[in-house]
């Protein structure tokens, strides 16, 4: 790094230069930090032949026209100007100059007057041989890069001002290639059509369009041409991360407890950062800012949390930040994991059953927690905070209560030792005991239906590996009977694929293991029964709101029944009885809701068709021979419109 610093200083010290230099590096790798803390400070202290240098730094981030660059230069240099000139600029609203030195001199001669009335020569303030310009974030400007480089070339070629450009050339190349892509594609297609090339099948159409775009709009060639003219040397920035990370930690000096913890775990921070495989220090800064919040909340509400847990939280915060913010994974990879127990169950499944569908979680754990042992290593509140930017106190407290529960107070059920814990660490006698207790739990129907299915896959593995004496036929009988009992108290499992994905039951485009086929089929039947039971209970609860609690009925019907065929699971005659007891106004509103529902959601209505047809028939039978009243007329309209949409 010192060699790079000296090379840049050699450029500044040179008596005469007609070129700029470029510092190239990845986003977030600390290029600006390098400028501020190593280059700028040394340039500002240079004294050559009695001349002191002044650095002028400008970020081009978001710049939308060249005038804004001029404005930035002027604002940066205005501190050198006479107070009278500055006062004039403020009073007249002048904020920009069109050219660095020439216009500055013109403005000084035109507007500046000393207190004794004499003209002030402001050219002294615009001397160019003691200035060093630094343009940062070239690739993030909203101006054509060719125009910006041409603009900068004025300073370099004509005024010989020392100029340093900081950028990420990789992103710059992508930006040049992809700018105005829709317009370029349209014009390229138009030209190909005029040339009769669209009809030819000799080359794929996409390739033809790409080639035409490169021929007509190849800005990359223009960029290379002007870069060759403007840039004399390009330096690749390879940061010293240890040095920079120590500098980042200094921002937490005011929190003595936190900075002490971070200093003690600097190696852990650096190690986790390097495992991310990126050079993005900006993400690390954000992650440490997030950990600052986490550390404060844990220290305030759970001060007795042990140091190992805090270290794991630090690793997890940094790791999740990099995985999400670099776009390495979609956020849903972590979103669907509810707690540490689920996280561990996925790891156990991937290790024991070689489940490649959970490969990412296995890789994440193996990468960031390599040689770091911790029982609790997934924190939902941290994942949620990084992903949504919301610090959810409810999730936080639930996680921390679980973490801080005395291990002696935790009675882990035997089946969880198989699904969640690393059971292979159990002594042989404890393993046998765990297996026997789990079988007993299955026999008694004490578990959730979905857990029985997942356990069966493990027991098939145990049997095939001769870890247990039970044969597969006997196991299947035990588990099928256990599933029947479990279904009496279990809840419907909506995310079946996700849950079963935690064990390697079925592979895409492959047949299900023979041992699993009967169990899976029975599970699907029982799970469907649980769904119908859930719908019946919901329908009973909602329709009982008619006619007394109509507001509650409307709210729940709209919110809970949009994609549920709820009318299939409530007796049509009871629906009619309740509707007929409602007020005339509510009869109209109920009718409108049902008609709208049928029109807008035919898929759901199809499942309700039989009951809706029966409801219409019951209404017609009720109206037959009735004396005309408002309610009878409304019910007839109800039947008529229902018949039309059905």
What integer is the mean pLDDT of 624-632?
90
108 confidence band (pLDDT: 50, 70, 90): very low
What is the per-residue pLDDT for 312? Answer: 95
Q: Which residue has the higher pLDDT, 69 or 640?
A: 640
Q: What is the pLDDT of residues 147-175, one digit of tens each?
A: 888 888 888 887 788 899 998 887 777 66
* Residue 199 covered by a domain: no
Q: Both 46 and 93 in a single domain?
A: yes
pLDDT tier at 395, thresholds 50, 70, 90: very high
Q: Is residue 479 part of a domain?
A: yes
Inform me whether the pLDDT recorded for 533 exceeds 80. Answer: yes
Rounded to an integer, the average pLDDT of 6-30 is 83
Q: Under a CB-based contact definition with an 8 Å cutoff, are residues 37 and 31 in contact?
A: no
What is the model's pLDDT at position 102?
A: 38
Residue range 24-74, pLDDT digits in tens: 887 767 788 888 888 888 888 887 777 788 888 888 888 888 887 777 776
> Looking at the predicted structure, is the pLDDT value of residue 528 above 80?
yes
Can you give the pTM of this predicted structure? 0.51
CATH number at residue 154: 3.40.50
CB distance 238 to 231 below 8 Å: no
Q: Is the residue at 186 inside a domain?
A: no
Contact of 596 with 558, CB cutoff 8 Å: no
Share of the chain above pLDDT 90, in %: 31
Q: Is residue 215 part of a domain?
A: no
Q: What are phi and psi of 237, to 5 degrees?
A: -90, 115
Q: Indicate if 472 and 566 belong to the same structural domain.
A: no
Compute the distance between CA of residue 492 and CA of residue 207 in angstroms, rounded to an integer.
51
Does 522 lie in the same domain as 429?
A: yes
Same domain? For 269 and 380 the reply is yes
Do 263 and 331 share a structural domain?
yes
pLDDT of 590 higher than 60: yes
Q: Is the pLDDT reported for residue 619 higher than 50?
A: yes
**Can you tell me the distance from the alpha carbon of 338 to that of 316, in angstroms, rounded to the nearest whole number?**
15
- C-alpha 638/C-alpha 591 separation (Å) is 6
Query: Given this model, what pLDDT does residue 511 score?
Result: 44
Number of domains in the chain: 4
The average confidence (pLDDT) of the chain is 81
pLDDT surpasses 80 at 103: no
The pLDDT assigned to 97 comes to 36
| pLDDT at residue 86 in the model | 52
Residue 470 domain-assigned (yes or no): yes
What value does the mean pLDDT take over residues 552-557?
92
The reply to whether 500 and 600 lie within a common domain is: no
Looking at the structure, tell me whether residues 496 and 559 fall in a common domain: no
pLDDT the model gives residue 96: 35
370 and 305, same structural domain?
Answer: yes
Q: What is the mean pLDDT of residues 237-245?
A: 72
**Shared-domain flag, residues 61 and 160:** yes
The top-scoring range by mean pLDDT among 40-49, 333-342, 517-526 is 517-526
Range of the domain at 453: 423-533
Q: Which residue has the higher pLDDT, 216 or 574?
A: 574
Q: Are 386 and 340 within one domain?
A: yes
**pLDDT at 406 (0 to 100):** 60
Residues 392 and 488 in one domain: no
Mark which of 410, 439, 458 sits at the end of a domain: 410
Asked whether residue 589 is domain-assigned, the answer is yes
Domain boundary among 410, 438, 471: 410
Tell me the pLDDT tens digit for each residue of 188-213.
776 777 777 777 777 777 777 777 66
Pair (397, 330) in one structural domain: yes
Q: What token pair was written down for 33?
A: 């930090």
83: Cβ–Cβ under 8 A, 6 or more apart, which residues? none
What spatial distance separates the first Cα and last Cα of the chain, rounded to whole Å? Answer: 77
Q: Is residue 219 part of a domain?
A: no
Instruction: Judge whether 208 lies within some domain.
Output: no
The mean pLDDT value for 382-392 works out to 92
Per residue in 109-141, pLDDT (tens digit) is 444 444 344 444 444 445 566 788 999 988 888
């Amino acid at each position: 790094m010192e060699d790079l610093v000296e090379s840049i200083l050699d450029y500044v010290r040179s008596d005469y230069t007609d070129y700029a230099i470029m510092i190239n590096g990845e986003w977030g790798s600390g290029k600006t930090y390098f400028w501020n803390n190593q280059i700028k400070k040394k340039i500002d202290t240079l004294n050559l032949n009695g001349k002191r240098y002044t650095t002028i730094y400008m970020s081009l981030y978001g710049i939308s026209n060249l005038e804004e660059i001029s404005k930035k230069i002027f604002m940066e240099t205005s501190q050198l100007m006479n107070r009278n000139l500055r006062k004039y600029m403020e009073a007249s609203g002048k904020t920009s100059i069109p050219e660095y030195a020439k216009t500055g001199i013109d403005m000084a001669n035109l507007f500046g007057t000393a207190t004794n009335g004499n003209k002030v020569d402001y050219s002294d303030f615009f001397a160019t041989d003691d200035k060093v310009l630094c343009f940062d974030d070239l690739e993030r400007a909203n101006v054509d890069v060719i125009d910006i480089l041409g603009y900068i070339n004025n300073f370099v070629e004509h005024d010989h001002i020392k100029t340093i450009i900081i950028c990420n050339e990789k992103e710059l190349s992508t930006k040049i290639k992809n700018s105005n892509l829709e317009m370029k594609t349209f014009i390229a297609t138009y030209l190909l059509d005029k040339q009769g090339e669209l009809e030819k099948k000799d080359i794929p159409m996409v390739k033809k369009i790409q080639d035409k775009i490169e021929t007509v709009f190849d800005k990359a060639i223009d960029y290379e041409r002007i870069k060759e003219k403007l840039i004399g040397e390009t330096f690749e920035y390879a940061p010293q991360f240890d040095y920079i990370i120590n500098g980042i930690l200094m921002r937490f000096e005011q929190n003595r407890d936190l900075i002490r913890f971070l200093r003690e775990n600097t190696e852990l921070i650096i190690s986790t950062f390097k495992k991310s495989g990126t050079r993005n220090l900006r993400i690390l800064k954000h992650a440490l800012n997030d950990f600052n919040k986490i550390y404060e909340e844990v220290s305030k509400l759970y001060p007795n949390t042990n140091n190992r847990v805090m270290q794991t939280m630090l690793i997890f915060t940094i790791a999740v930040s990099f995985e999400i913010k670099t776009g390495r994974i979609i956020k849903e990879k972590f979103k669907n994991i509810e707690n540490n127990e689920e996280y561990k169950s996925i790891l156990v499944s991937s290790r024991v059953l070689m489940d490649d569908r959970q490969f990412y979680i296995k890789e994440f754990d193996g990468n960031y927690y390599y040689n770091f042992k911790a029982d609790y290593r997934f924190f939902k509140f941290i994942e949620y905070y990084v992903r949504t930017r919301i610090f959810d106190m409810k999730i936080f407290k639930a996680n921390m209560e679980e973490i801080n529960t005395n291990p002696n107070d935790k009675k882990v059920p035997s089946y969880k030792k198989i699904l969640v814990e690393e059971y292979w660490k159990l002594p042989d006698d404890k393993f046998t005991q765990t297996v026997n207790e789990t079988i007993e739990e299955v026999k008694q129907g004490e578990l959730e239906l979905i857990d029985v299915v997942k356990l069966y896959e493990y027991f098939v593995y145990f049997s095939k590996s001769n870890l247990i004496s039970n044969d597969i036929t006997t196991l299947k009988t035990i588990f099928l009977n256990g599933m029947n009992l479990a279904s009496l108290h279990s809840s419907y499992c909506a995310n079946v694929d996700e849950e079963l994905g935690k064990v390697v039951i079925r592979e895409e485009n492959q047949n299900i293991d023979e041992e699993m086929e009967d169990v899976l089929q029975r599970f699907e039947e029982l799970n469907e029964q649980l769904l119908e039971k859930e719908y019946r209970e919901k329908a009973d609860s909602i329709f009982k709101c008619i006619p007394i609690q109509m507001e509650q009925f409307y709210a729940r019907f709209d919110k809970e029944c949009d994609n549920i065929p709820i009318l299939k699971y409530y007796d049509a005659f009871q629906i009619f009885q309740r509707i007929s007891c409602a007020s005339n106004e509510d009869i109209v509103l109920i009718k409108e809701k049902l008609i709208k529902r049928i029109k807008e959601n035919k898929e759901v209505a199809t499942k309700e068709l039989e009951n809706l047809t029966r409801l219409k028939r019951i209404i017609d039978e009720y109206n037959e021979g009735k004396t005309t009243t408002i309610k009878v007329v409304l019910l007839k309209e109800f039947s008529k419109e229902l018949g039309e949409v059905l």
